[in-house]
Structure 1
Amino acid sequence: MTSRNYLLKTIGGNIRRNFWLMILFFLAFLVVMPASTLTALDGAKYIDTTNFTVNMTNTFIQCIRSSLVQVIVAGCGALAALSVFFYLYSQEKTDFYHSLPMRREGLFMAQFLSGFSLFLIPYVLNLLLTLAIGLVYGAVNQTALSILVIHTLLAVIYFLAIYGAAVLAILLTGNLFTGTLGFMTLMFYGPILYMTFTRLNARFFETIVQEMDYDFGIFLSPLIAYISGGTVDWTWKSLCIYFLYGVVLALVVILADILVYRIRPSESFHKAIAFKKLEPVIKVCGILPLSLLCALYFSGYMYNQFFWMVIGAVVLTLIFSMIFDFLCNMDIRMALKPKVSTGVILAVLILILGGYRTDITGVDTFLPDEEKVASMSLYLPSVSGQFQYPESSVTESPTYTTFSLNQWVEDFQEIYALAEKSVEYVRDHEAYASDVQSLRENGDPEQTMVMIYIGYHMKSGQDVYRMYYIPETEELVENIGRVYDTWEYREKILPTSYIDTEKIENIYTYSFTESGKALTLSDENQERLLKTYQEELENMTFDQSRREKQVGWLELQEKAEPEISAMGYSVNSTYTYSYNLPVYASFEKTRAMLEKLGNPMADSIEPDQVESILLSRYSYESGEEQYLEKEYRTEEDIEKLLAQATFRDERFTVGSHVNYQVSCEITWKDSKKDKIAFYIFEDSSLTDILEQLNQGNTD
């Protein structure tokens, strides 16, 4: 009973001494919670009177989810820790507190709970005021109340984590300056470490798929995790992750605080770091990633030359080491003396850079044994990247690359053969990285390179992703064709696998002669048309898609319904989106149905309707860019060009017979008709015509 009374008296005394801070917290929360909610709700009642209740509720939810509240909570954690534990930076106050007839654990809990109370009381009061304002305006329903409860729990949990980290920074240091640096380190060291790792991978490894590097860095900082957890659109899974992470982190940090407080020397007030033995450990762990990250940015200005990266890393390590040693000892001569810790940093630095430079772990040549692979995925931008998909099928993936590489195929023998060719090419070309960089910057019209993304789902449960640039050869095209013609793979990449006919509101057709003409058809005819199209597209082989001309496309329009979060509120508003489906010359059933419906797609253009055809291209001969164009008006030239005409979108670019370097534009004899653009299949019949264009003849 005596201990409990003393604990309560200590907390009460601390609150009275820091009452000014509680008032400051109250005013800060008053501005970002009740005041902002009152202003927002009072303005929202005039915006949308047709959906008054929904509008008011959504406005109230937006106020609850304000990132400003999270910033204030984090700031309260840092200031509360500084307020109640600042005595550790003073000899007299430390001696006084440590002379009290209390165990260190009890003394710590009294101070810790005092700081927590300084935050909790003003936060709860403002929370109740905010709820009252929402009730007065009729903006609170079950969903809004659930979100309010969740944000309150998140605020309390992550306050404890941030507050505990701030206390730990104070316990490990002996003055305000290094304590502030320590707190910033605890908040951002994890993300910096993660950023250094990913940037090194991106700098040295050409086959790493950056899009598949999920941002785990947010869970390496309580501050960033809290802000992310409060602003993302929750699913039940994400909610559990953020709650579990916050609770575990808060418990770990608080237990670490108690342990460190028990053994912290009372005379630590005059030291930069409270524990002398921790100095070299903190120095190595802190300076190493910082030097590497700064060297990465520095070498970027020097054309990513490895020499300058090494020089930058070494020089920065020496500079940062001297600064660190000076801050710890406040002696310039001690800072200039060589230290073992500095040598350790330089040695590890050279090992890391050397390992990355030589790819000692074999990242770029990674190829697991086939029997260790459970399934594989393949994303070819030149194939599946040419398709367009219903938005609802890819919304759960951050990028289309992510969506494609998560389409796993169990019959993966041909994909594995493609991976073997890719890895073999990397192994046989020592200058692979510089070759890829040169291709990205300058291009090479004489050599077509194919981009290949490959995913391995290992039997161990691990997922590994790689990306390659390899030359387009007939052997490679045949390999890709065998992969495409495997139904398990083709089913996953064709847009028809994801179309829901009931969601389609309108269909428009585009062809050589008409653009954007709406189809007028019943639901039954619409379903029949799409099933017919689906059958013809899915039966088309890869070789057919390479050789056949495209005669138009179907534009499908769908209405996107609002996304509903785990809490039941809408994430966005309703809108309409569209996507295109290619129609080839051999789709006779689809074209016949379109003709009956009044939207024909002819497989060719009548030459007598064409006034002229303009060809244009860019030439890079002699290292200079030159724009070339020529207009063809003779009947013979027009007939030759129209015979090879294909519609320009949604065509596979790998192994294609289309000349993508030449742009074509038709001018009609009927001046009221708009000019249209197309591409051409290149064969011997167009040799003379293209030679005239390449000569720059504009007559």
Structure 2
Amino acid sequence: MKSATSSSKSWFYPTLWKKNMARFWPVWALYGLVWLVALPLNLMTNYRISGSWSGLDEGANYFANYTVLEFAGEPSVILSAGFAILAAMAVFSYLYQSRSVGMLHALPVKREGLFLTNYLSGLSFLLLPAVAVFGLALLAEAAKGCLNAGALGLWLGCQVCYALFFYSFAVFCAMFTGHILALPAFYAILNGLATGLYMLVSAVLRQFVFGFSGIDGVERAALWRTPVAKLIDKVGATQEWDEAGAVVLAIRFQGFGYALVYALAGLVLAVLALCLYRRRSLETAGDVVAVSWVRPIFKYGVGLCAGLAFGSVLYAWLGWNLPQGAWTLLLFMLLCGAMGYFVAEMLLQKAFWVFQGSWKGCVLLLCAMTAATAVMELDLTGFERRVPDPDRVVSLTLHGPYTAPYDDGRAVRLDTSDPELIRLVTELHRAIVEEKDAIDRDRSHSGDWYGDVTLAGGTVLRDIQKAGSVQLWISYDLDTGAQVRRRYDDLFLTADMLADPDSAAARLQALINRPEVTWYGYFPADISGWKLVDAYLTVTDDGQQWAENAEKYGEEYADRYAEEVQAGRAAVPQEGWDDLLAAVQSDLKAGRIGRRYLLDDAQRQTNCYYNDLELTFYVPEGQAAGTETALAADSTQRANRDRTHSVTITVQKTATDTLAVLERLGLAGALVLRADLP
């Protein structure tokens, strides 16, 4: 029914605006109180010009120059998002009761004017307190002698942008429902729907599609459609410190452009909300979904999301007792999808008995889910079988798995444009694809992954790893500019597979043990400017602590804490540092040290000593302190600041040059093979 409100031509009604401000004062008063406490009162009561007061060592200048900008980031985003929905629920609450909506639209006012007045009323709940707090904060900073109008202006600008977007988005959501409790639910769900749906679909695709890594560009697009997360990630203050990390050199505010983009999007949403309001039927008050063409989207969307989310949860909880695989997951998804569909239908029809008239739509949803599963599981698109032509690959990145020994080279990562390495990686990739069926079958392997191994001399090694699984990610950059990515989370392997040179497991182990690959686990390409300033060899107590633990607590306890038998470190004499470094580099380049093992097997136990070399370097200013491939960014930044970097590398039996230097320095006697420990 269209309203009869067409007599007045005004686009704004001051009386209604004043009534909204007076009626819903707790919303804007509470919002203003929060910022009043956070900014001017906080400055006046807790900060002084310098020194410390009330246990706080930051002065008022620090507050005015940094804390204000810090508040413009995450705290402002969260507060704006929360109070925006409260404001929208307040000023548009009349839409959700038949009596109030009929009475208000019977008045001689335009729909456009009614919408605009209520829209501006709610927006005033957020903007007017922010302006008032801005003015009070200016006075407080002036009184403290730390006036920074620019920082406060940025804070106010962010409040305006956030308010425009989140409030407009809340009003936009309000136009789709006739139930006041559905409004905050829709608002919260739609704020995180894009990222949540992407994560759900990706998780399910990893079950269905062998090697699935992600969908190019979709993750970034999903983050843009998750405004709270995007703004928290991009908007905020950063500090630039001196090399010692003691003095702040500069404070910068970043991300205001993102806030402006969302503000413009908010204006667009406000216009769309007005269009919906003009066509809104008054009889939809009380309906969960008030727009007719959205109703099928709602019920099919709820069914799909319920199937993906709750089906995955049930599969994780109950699927261990059932055959593992995509078809078992599909059964749970179909069950949960049907339940979600009928629950949505109940909400739409405001009744519990909805099966007779809506079962056909449910069948359609379940058939679509089954067809999509079949396409993915049977690889009808050829996605799983696709391996790039090595001649078309410009560069690639490979990272994973974690390997033994557990020194600084344990995390394997390779960034290369070397044609030979590219060829080897594509051959490895092709072998993985060919072994897909065996890998899928072995995912449910329930045998003993550890056991005793008897060496040729009769020595028995206990609890040696015989099977395991590794993770591998591959990303190809093609000459067309395209990118091919694959992610394999559970590549099962055994000692027998490693013994077969044509198997994927053996190819992977051979690849990660090429000298040019192992080198980057410890050092960058060029360490000519590095200077060795300290060197140690970790030493053990020859099993004495293990024997004591075994006697007191049993062998199982002793084995569990066997890694803790290292008693200390033996310093390498300074006169031997250069020779030791040259020997380590020589062995690394020849593949005699740094050898990686996919299984903690007998070969690893008989080749690796229990001893590690710990080398500390002085790094020239401006030079990368860690490897570009193996070290995390924060570790590199910290090392650049400290200008020292340590490398830990396990001594191995095949490292002839390194062992010769240790022998000459009188340290070889401290070496203990892992296989020789009790």
Note whether the superposition's TM-score is higher than 0.5.
Answer: yes
Is 1:298 the equivalent of 2:314? Answer: yes
Alpha-carbon distance in structure 2 between the residues aligned to 1:226 and 1:54: 26
| Contact 2:51–2:57 under 8 Å retained in 1 | no
Partner of 1:369: 389
| Contact 1:161–1:250 under 8 Å retained in 2 | yes
Q: For 1:168, which of 163, 172, 178 is the aligned residue?
A: 172
Q: For 1:27, which of 20, 30, 33 is the aligned residue?
A: 33
Shift in Å, 1:200: 0.8
| Contact 1:418–1:480 under 8 Å retained in 2 | no
Partner of 1:604: 668
Q: For 1:221, which of 226, 230, 233 is the aligned residue?
A: 226
Partner of 2:344: 324
Equivalence map 1:568-647=2 (5 Å) = 579-582=646-649, 601-602=665-666, 604-605=668-669
- Pick closer, same or farther for the CA change 1:55–1:372 going to 2, 3 Å: same
Greater mean alpha carbon deviation, residues 528-537 or residues 507-516: 528-537
Alpha-carbon distance in structure 2 between the residues aligned to 1:139 and 1:22: 28
- Pick closer, same or farther for the CA change 1:303–1:252 going to 2, 3 Å: same
Superposed CA RMSD: 4.9
Alpha-carbon distance in structure 2 between the residues aligned to 1:301 and 1:545: 40
Is 1:410 the equivalent of 2:417? Answer: yes
Shift in Å, 1:171: 0.8
| Contact 2:231–2:259 under 8 Å retained in 1 | no
| Contact 2:178–2:285 under 8 Å retained in 1 | yes
Partner of 1:553: 613
Alpha-carbon distance in structure 1 between the residues aligned to 2:439 and 2:486: 14
Partner of 1:654: none
Shift in Å, 1:120: 0.7
Shift in Å, 1:73: 1.8
Greater mean alpha carbon deviation, residues 237-246 or residues 410-419: 237-246
Q: For 2:474, which of 435, 441, 454 is the aligned residue?
A: 454
Partner of 2:95: 88
Shift in Å, 1:496: 4.0
- Pick closer, same or farther for the CA change 1:368–1:573 going to 2, 3 Å: closer
- Pick closer, same or farther for the CA change 1:573–1:104 going to 2, 3 Å: farther
- Relative to the length of structure 2, the TM-score reads 0.69
Greater mean alpha carbon deviation, residues 34-43 or residues 271-280: 34-43
Corresponding residue SS for 1:338? helix
| Contact 1:168–1:253 under 8 Å retained in 2 | yes
Letter in 2 for 1:224: A
Alpha-carbon distance in structure 1 between the residues aligned to 2:468 and 2:353: 60
| Contact 2:195–2:225 under 8 Å retained in 1 | yes
Corresponding residue SS for 1:365? coil
Partner of 2:458: none
| Contact 1:208–1:466 under 8 Å retained in 2 | yes
Equivalence map 1:101-500=2 (5 Å) = 104-130=111-137, 132-133=139-140, 146=151, 149-205=153-209, 207-208=211-212, 217-229=222-234, 239=255, 242-243=258-259, 246-247=262-263, 249-304=265-320, 305-306=324-325, 308-334=328-354, 336-381=356-401, 388=408, 404=413, 407=415, 409-438=416-445, 442=449, 445-446=465-466, 452-468=472-488, 469=491, 471-472=497-498, 473-474=500-501, 492-497=520-525
| Contact 2:69–2:236 under 8 Å retained in 1 | no
Corresponding residue SS for 2:290? coil
Alpha-carbon distance in structure 2 between the residues aligned to 1:572 and 1:65: 31
| Contact 1:89–1:174 under 8 Å retained in 2 | yes
| Contact 1:506–1:518 under 8 Å retained in 2 | no
- Pick closer, same or farther for the CA change 1:586–1:542 going to 2, 3 Å: closer
Alpha-carbon distance in structure 1 between the residues aligned to 2:305 and 2:389: 34
Corresponding residue SS for 2:297? helix
- Pick closer, same or farther for the CA change 1:575–1:88 going to 2, 3 Å: farther
Alpha-carbon distance in structure 2 between the residues aligned to 1:100 and 1:112: 18
Letter in 2 for 1:162: F
| Contact 1:70–1:227 under 8 Å retained in 2 | yes
**Any idea what the Cα deviations from partners look like across 1:525-560, whole Å, max 9, x if unmatched?**
98x77984785366x133675598777513327799
Corresponding residue SS for 1:553? strand
- Pick closer, same or farther for the CA change 1:140–1:591 going to 2, 3 Å: farther
Corresponding residue SS for 2:255? helix
Alpha-carbon distance in structure 2 between the residues aligned to 1:230 and 1:440: 51
| Contact 2:43–2:60 under 8 Å retained in 1 | no
- Pick closer, same or farther for the CA change 1:571–1:31 going to 2, 3 Å: farther
Partner of 1:664: 677
| Contact 1:161–1:222 under 8 Å retained in 2 | no
**Any idea what the Cα deviations from partners look like across 1:33-67, whole Å, max 9, x if unmatched?**
44455565479824889885787679835972685
- Pick closer, same or farther for the CA change 1:380–1:200 going to 2, 3 Å: closer
Letter in 2 for 1:580: V
Partner of 1:542: 591
Alpha-carbon distance in structure 2 between the residues aligned to 1:521 and 1:141: 54
Alpha-carbon distance in structure 1 between the residues aligned to 2:98 and 2:91: 15
**Any idea what the Cα deviations from partners look like across 1:206-261, whole Å, max 9, x if unmatched?**
53458999787543323333444457969999726743652454244223212212
Alpha-carbon distance in structure 2 between the residues aligned to 1:117 and 1:560: 56
Greater mean alpha carbon deviation, residues 187-196 or residues 546-555: 546-555
Letter in 1 for 2:473: Y
| Contact 2:94–2:101 under 8 Å retained in 1 | yes
Letter in 2 for 1:15: M
| Contact 1:26–1:126 under 8 Å retained in 2 | yes
Q: For 2:82, which of 44, 65, 75 is the aligned residue?
A: 75
Corresponding residue SS for 1:495? coil
| Contact 1:455–1:463 under 8 Å retained in 2 | yes
Partner of 1:691: none
Shift in Å, 1:300: 0.9
Count of matched residue pairs:
578
| Contact 1:158–1:226 under 8 Å retained in 2 | no
Unaligned runs of 5+ in 1: 390-398, 562-569, 607-641, 647-659, 666-699
Corresponding residue SS for 1:333? coil
**Any idea what the Cα deviations from partners look like across 1:590-615, whole Å, max 9, x if unmatched?**
986x99xxxx7557328xxxxxxxxx
Alpha-carbon distance in structure 2 between the residues aligned to 1:37 and 1:214: 40
| Contact 2:52–2:59 under 8 Å retained in 1 | yes
Greater mean alpha carbon deviation, residues 183-192 or residues 79-88: 183-192
Equivalence map 1:510-549=2 (5 Å) = 510=537, 515-516=568-569, 532=582, 536=586, 540-542=589-591, 546=595
State the identity as a percent: 18
Letter in 2 for 1:349: M
- Pick closer, same or farther for the CA change 1:457–1:5 going to 2, 3 Å: closer
Letter in 2 for 1:263: R
Alpha-carbon distance in structure 2 between the residues aligned to 1:136 and 1:266: 54
Corresponding residue SS for 1:293? helix
| Contact 2:20–2:91 under 8 Å retained in 1 | yes
Alpha-carbon distance in structure 1 between the residues aligned to 2:665 and 2:371: 64
Shift in Å, 1:432: 1.5
Shift in Å, 1:478: 7.3
- Relative to the length of structure 1, the TM-score reads 0.67
Alpha-carbon distance in structure 2 between the residues aligned to 1:440 and 1:71: 50
Shift in Å, 1:196: 0.9
Corresponding residue SS for 1:554? strand
- Pick closer, same or farther for the CA change 1:180–1:308 going to 2, 3 Å: same
Is 1:18 the equivalent of 2:24? Answer: yes
| Contact 1:296–1:309 under 8 Å retained in 2 | yes
